[in-house]
Structure 1
Amino acid sequence: MLLSAFLSRRFRAQSGAKEAQNGFVTFIAKASTIGILLGVAVLIVALSVINGFEQQLVHRLLSVVPQVEYVAPSRPIEQWPAKVENLQKQAGVTGAAPFISVNGMAQYKSGLKAVEIRGVSPELEKNVSSINQFIQGKLISQMSTEEVILGSQIVDQLSLQQGDSVTLLIPQVNQTSNDILAPKRVTLTLAGIVKMGGPIDSSAAFIHLEKAQSLLGYNEQHVTGLRLKVNDVFYAHQIALRVGQTIPDYVYISSWFRTQGSLYQDIQMVRTIVYIVVFLIIAVASFNIVSSLVMEVREKQSNIAILKTMGAKDSTILATFVMQGLTQAFVGVVLGSLIGILLALNISSLFTWLSQLAGANPLEGVYFIEFLPSKLVWQDIIVTVIVTFALAVLATIYPAWQATRVDPAKVLGN
């Protein structure tokens, strides 16, 4: 192996010296190194961004949107305090809280905006939601019965400011004749603003649970739904089905997989596509290693013949050219990993700077975040390096084997 390493280094030195005369082989070798470098760097950055989106999905979006909900379709759920206490004792459940949800309109002066009015318990909501982290002004736990907390896009559209009086319109339907009645109107003070990014900012309107009960004519024991927080969000649906059997009321069972599952599936699909596409790029770069080594073997036939006449074994010749190809891959992997890690660690700041420079943020109002997240996972780097080296080894086997088939008599005779 030491002899093979020495010969490989000498062959590279000879190729460098002859580059001015025959630079095509060197160009192919450099192209394969650059291809591997770019492939490794792009894969590390892309996977880091995908991991960042998945992390933000779990720790940001899924900490606010309902992980599990039990919604009464017709009659309200009765005796909710006892049922919340029972749900909190179930395995896999870390928190439970009641809510009342109804669609309505927010009105300020001549402006109208459709909202989802959600009556929540200030004391229990913190057990199932981290929405307080994204509220400017009064938190839900500090909200009174005469106050409302709205999403930032609703506030902007209606030109509201904290402390303004906003009117909520709640539609009513005659339960007997199904006729639409005049909506109920209630005027509340804007106490807080939700600024999270994404759809919640454009639809959320939080009011006190007692206020929602009085508006809908419920007593203090009635709610329209129960909400859970679970210890593992990826098993939320299984927990929802199991725990739902303990609720005696007729309810619809819903988990975040129904409301946000498509987003999670999109993230996983993009991860798979990135793996396939980038590894194909690396495979093409590895094919360039085959081309460069085949030409290298043809160029070094006389050297190989002399080495064989001096007693060099086929295994030595094979290892020499395998090392030639692995050296190209090693340089590409090391430089690509360094560049990829550097970009992955700074991609969020770079994206913010470019957005400010362009004067527009392509993520704003589209996704649940307004920045480009990044999470560097070392396992991804290790897998990338191993697969790249495996492809490089496969690429060097055929040219190196061809080198062992050189016939000294024919080469030296010519």
Structure 2
Amino acid sequence: MFRPLFVFIGARYTRAKRRNHFVSFISLTSMIGLALGVVVMIVVLSVMNGFDHEMRTRVLGMVPHATIESTQPINDWQALATKVKQNPQVVAVAPYTQMQGLLTNDGKVQKVLLNGVDPALEGNVSIIDNFVQKGSLADLKSGEFGIMIGDKAATKLGVGVGDKLTFVAPEVTVTPAGMFPRMKRFTVTGIFHVGAGEIDGYLGITNIQDLARLHRWQPEQVQGIRLKFEDLFQAPRIAWQLAQQLGENDYYARDWTRTHGNLYQAIGMEKSMIGLLLLLIVAVAAFNIISTLVMVVNDKRGDIAILRTLGSTPGQIMAIFMVQGTVIGVVGTFIGAVVGILAALNVSAAIALLEKLIGHKFLNSDVYFIDYLPSQLMANDVIMVCGAALVLSFLATLYPAWRAARTQPAEALRYE
């Protein structure tokens, strides 16, 4: 097979044993450093992608993409839903009513956002069905005052399915004997685990008609409608337009960017900044190739002089060392890509096993919005990281190769 002379010699220099073993060691460390940089960058970007994915599919799958509410209870939410569904971006609509308060049991207290839903329609706008551990939405029957709570709240309150809880509403009832807080007994009909601390600890789900009675409304009255969009990033704009069409003075819209937008933007910004910082690590590892090739050039001055006297041009000499440096970069990048892909695919399971072995949670749901380390490997990230490493490796070969091309045969052979 035909190979150009500079490719043959450059590849031979790469695999040949050098007289100066220190040069070989530096070459090996450059390759290992580049590989480690690629591994770390792929793994970290995959973890950031995992946080982004879990934020969109898990947390934003539970909270409303957008809601349309009124200053007064809505009597005919079905007619309102029919108008809203005329927008092609609206995938599903469901009614809801909310009330904040406290859940108490045996002296234990837990704050809660009680969310009244229609069990038959809630699955169209929420992914709660995917995370129910015990019971189901269908168990939330009107008039029975059942409640579903997260496993974190259930653990804190010490309750399970079938146990009773007391809900304390943020209102008081005035009687001749004085003012008393409004309370209602609920029966735990289900427990869910989303993996997000704020949802598993502070969200309760009950039947929408039961919560209407607690508000002292008619059973068919609701607080608003919850919307699910084809593209959640269009939610702010479309929800505002829908509210305008329904009547600016009668209805107003809320969307997920008001409650979780800052967190989502922070994840995106962190991914960009961490990617940039890790790219600098890859750059440092890639530019170690400069020192390697400079030492190789000094070690091969005699060989370079002989090649020049045999008729090799400065361009061919330069190409020889560019090939050698590029081979180091390609091998290091390939090894890093393979190890990085394997690590990114298994980092979640590895961290979960480590947490189990040492008995410590690295991501506490009281602090972070999820309680486990997610990872999502994306081909675009792997291509970007490998491409950047290869480009930096190639750029690192230019200066040493240029120095090799400037070697004067007579000067190099003077003391040979």
Deviation at 1:413, TM superposition (A): 3.6
SS of match in other structure, 2:75: coil
- 1:12–1:131 distance in 2 versus 1, CA, 3 Å: closer
Counterpart of 2:153, as a letter, is I
- 1:137–1:282 distance in 2 versus 1, CA, 3 Å: closer
Q: Percent identity?
A: 36
Residue 12 of structure 2 is matched in structure 1 by 10
In 1, Cα distance between the equivalents of 2:289 and 2:392? 10
- After TM superposition, the structure 1 = structure 2 runs for residues 33-72 of structure 1, keeping only pairs within 5 Å, are 33-72=31-70
Deviation at 1:125, TM superposition (A): 1.3
Residue 128 of structure 1 is matched in structure 2 by 125
- Preserved CA contact (<8 Å) 2:100 2:114: yes
1:371-391 deviation digits (Å, cap 9, x = unpaired): 222111111111111111111
In 2, Cα distance between the equivalents of 1:286 and 1:103? 56
- After TM superposition, the structure 1 = structure 2 runs for residues 9-408 of structure 1, keeping only pairs within 5 Å, are 9-14=11-16, 16-18=17-19, 22-72=20-70, 74-145=71-142, 146=144, 147-172=146-171, 182-197=180-195, 198-248=197-247, 250-365=250-365, 366-408=367-409
SS of match in other structure, 1:196: coil
Deviation at 1:173, TM superposition (A): 6.2
Aligned length, in residue pairs: 405
1:290-327 deviation digits (Å, cap 9, x = unpaired): 11111211221121111111111222111100011111
Deviation at 1:13, TM superposition (A): 4.8
In 2, Cα distance between the equivalents of 1:98 and 1:10? 72
SS of match in other structure, 2:324: helix
1:252-281 deviation digits (Å, cap 9, x = unpaired): 422111111122122212211221111111
Counterpart of 2:150, as a letter, is G
- 1:181–1:291 distance in 2 versus 1, CA, 3 Å: same
- Preserved CA contact (<8 Å) 1:35 1:281: no
- 1:65–1:270 distance in 2 versus 1, CA, 3 Å: same
Relative to structure 2, which stretch is displaced further, 40-49 or 115-124? 115-124
- Preserved CA contact (<8 Å) 1:171 1:182: no
What TM-score comes out, normalization by structure 2 length?
0.92
- Preserved CA contact (<8 Å) 1:41 1:337: yes
- Preserved CA contact (<8 Å) 2:153 2:202: yes
SS of match in other structure, 1:182: strand
In 2, Cα distance between the equivalents of 1:399 and 1:129? 60
Relative to structure 2, which stretch is displaced further, 306-315 or 76-85? 76-85
In 2, Cα distance between the equivalents of 1:241 and 1:115? 28
Relative to structure 2, which stretch is displaced further, 137-146 or 156-165? 137-146
- 1:181–1:243 distance in 2 versus 1, CA, 3 Å: farther
Deviation at 1:181, TM superposition (A): 5.2
SS of match in other structure, 1:373: coil
In 1, Cα distance between the equivalents of 2:129 and 2:11? 62
SS of match in other structure, 2:74: coil
1:225-249 deviation digits (Å, cap 9, x = unpaired): 2211111112221222122223336
SS of match in other structure, 1:372: coil
Deviation at 1:221, TM superposition (A): 4.2
In 2, Cα distance between the equivalents of 1:333 and 1:191? 54
1:308-350 deviation digits (Å, cap 9, x = unpaired): 1111122211110001111111121111111101111111110
- Preserved CA contact (<8 Å) 2:139 2:189: no
Q: Which portions of structure 1, spanning 4 or more consecutive aligned residues, are displaced by more than 6 angstroms?
A: none
Counterpart of 1:277, as a letter, is L
Relative to structure 2, which stretch is displaced further, 140-149 or 354-363? 140-149
Deviation at 1:185, TM superposition (A): 1.9
- 1:12–1:209 distance in 2 versus 1, CA, 3 Å: closer
- Preserved CA contact (<8 Å) 2:11 2:327: no
Relative to structure 2, which stretch is displaced further, 94-103 or 80-89? 80-89
SS of match in other structure, 1:191: strand
Counterpart of 2:13, as a letter, is F
In 2, Cα distance between the equivalents of 1:156 and 1:123? 28
- Preserved CA contact (<8 Å) 1:81 1:221: no
In 2, Cα distance between the equivalents of 1:38 and 1:168? 54
Residue 409 of structure 1 is matched in structure 2 by 410
In 2, Cα distance between the equivalents of 1:235 and 1:50? 23
- Preserved CA contact (<8 Å) 2:172 2:182: no
Deviation at 1:188, TM superposition (A): 2.0
In 2, Cα distance between the equivalents of 1:265 and 1:106? 33
- 1:140–1:75 distance in 2 versus 1, CA, 3 Å: same
Counterpart of 1:207, as a letter, is T
SS of match in other structure, 1:10: helix
Counterpart of 2:396, as a letter, is A
In 2, Cα distance between the equivalents of 1:275 and 1:185? 52
Counterpart of 2:14, as a letter, is R
- Preserved CA contact (<8 Å) 1:126 1:141: no
In 1, Cα distance between the equivalents of 2:15 and 2:339? 27
- 1:264–1:234 distance in 2 versus 1, CA, 3 Å: same
Deviation at 1:397, TM superposition (A): 0.8
In 2, Cα distance between the equivalents of 1:247 and 1:218? 23
In 2, Cα distance between the equivalents of 1:13 and 1:384? 26
- 1:30–1:191 distance in 2 versus 1, CA, 3 Å: same
